[in-house]
Structures are given as C-alpha cells and as structure tokens.
C-alpha cells in the first residue's frame, strides 16, 4: 500500500466518522414526531378550546391556565415528553414565557400572546377544520 493510498483511506474514514457524528447529533436535536389524535379526542379538544377561548374575556389568567392544561393533555396524548425542558415543543415554551413575562403578569397582552401559542398547539392537533367557530361567534386570541 502506498503512502498516498493510505492518506486517501484515512481521509475517507475521517469523513465517514464526521458524517455519522452529524447524523447522530441532528437526530438528537429533532423533536420526536407527534402521533395524530383519534377523531374522538380531536372533537373533545376542539370543544374544550372553544370554551377556554370564550372564558378569556372574563378571566384571562384562568383561561391561560386552562389552555396550558389542555395543551399538556394534547401533547401527552400525542406522545410528547414534557419532563425534559429541551424536548418541550417550541409553542409550549413560547406560551409559558409569554404568560410569565411582565406583560403576562401585569396585563393581558402577555396572556393574549400565550393564548395564540396554545391555540397553535391545539390547531396542530385537532386540525383547522374542527377549530372553525360557528357563524356569529367572535374569535378571541388570534
């Protein structure tokens, strides 16, 4: 084996190890795929969300707390692991940050932003078709 063949072989092995390392690193950083909800759960969560949204006008803080509970239930049923902060879905982190912000503690703007993020979680899980409100009802947190 010549020296140039050996160099090419070593470079090829190093390149292969780098590619394998990148693939492993990328697979660890990706969120696990969430499984779809059964139709019964989709309908139940869509109805629940409509009640939570309607409550926002009268009790924004209570609605945000209910929205968080609903999002946890949805994500749990879809197979998300919420015990590791790194694996909590982005929308959930953003919702909780908005609710805990100064705007969320001192006024309703942060809570409104939190509701928008929670709604994205619900919409992703149940589908936009089920999220449509009957005619004449007002959307609260879009």
Q: Is residue 53 part of a domain?
A: yes
Question: Is 48 inside a domain boundary?
Answer: yes
Q: Is the pLDDT of residue 18 over 60?
A: yes
| Cα dihedral sign, 49-54-56-62 | negative
Task: Give the residue among 134, 142, 137 at the shortest CA–CA distance from 117.
Answer: 142
Domain that holds residue 55: 39-131
pLDDT, mean of residues 18-44: 81
Question: What is the C-alpha separation between 116 and 23, in angstroms, rounded?
Answer: 34
8 A C-beta contact, residue 92 and residue 82 = yes
Residue 136: pLDDT band with limits 50, 70, 90: very low
Query: Is the distance from CB of 116 to CB of 142 less than 8 angstroms?
Result: yes
pTM listed for this prediction: 0.70
Query: Tokens for 28?
Result: 């660890």
Per residue in 35-63, pLDDT (tens digit) is 999 999 999 999 999 999 999 999 999 99
Tell me what the pLDDT averaged over the chain comes to: 86
What pLDDT is recorded for position 134?
Answer: 54
Q: Is residue 84 part of a domain?
A: yes
| Domain shared by 5 and 43, yes or no | no
Residues 2 and 57 in one domain: no
Count of domains observed in the chain: 2
Does one domain contain both 26 and 45?
no
In 21-136, where do the E strands start and end? none
Are 46 and 93 in a shared domain?
A: yes
């Amino acid at each position: 084996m010549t020296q140039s063949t050996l160099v090419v072989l070593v470079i090829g092995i190093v390149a292969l190890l780098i590619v394998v390392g990148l693939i492993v690193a990328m697979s660890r950083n990706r969120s696990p795929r969430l499984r779809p909800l059964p139709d019964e759960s989709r309908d139940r969560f869509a109805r629940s969300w409509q009640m939570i949204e309607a409550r926002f006008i009268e009790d924004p803080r209570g609605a945000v707390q209910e929205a968080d509970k609903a999002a946890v239930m949805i994500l749990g049923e879809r197979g998300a692991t919420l015990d590791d902060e790194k694996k909590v879905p982005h929308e959930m982190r953003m919702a909780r940050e908005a609710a805990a912000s100064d705007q969320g503690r001192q006024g309703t703007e942060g809570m409104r932003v939190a509701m928008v993020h929670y709604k994205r979680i619900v919409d992703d899980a149940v589908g936009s078709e089920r999220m449509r409100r009957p005619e004449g009802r007002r959307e609260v947190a879009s």
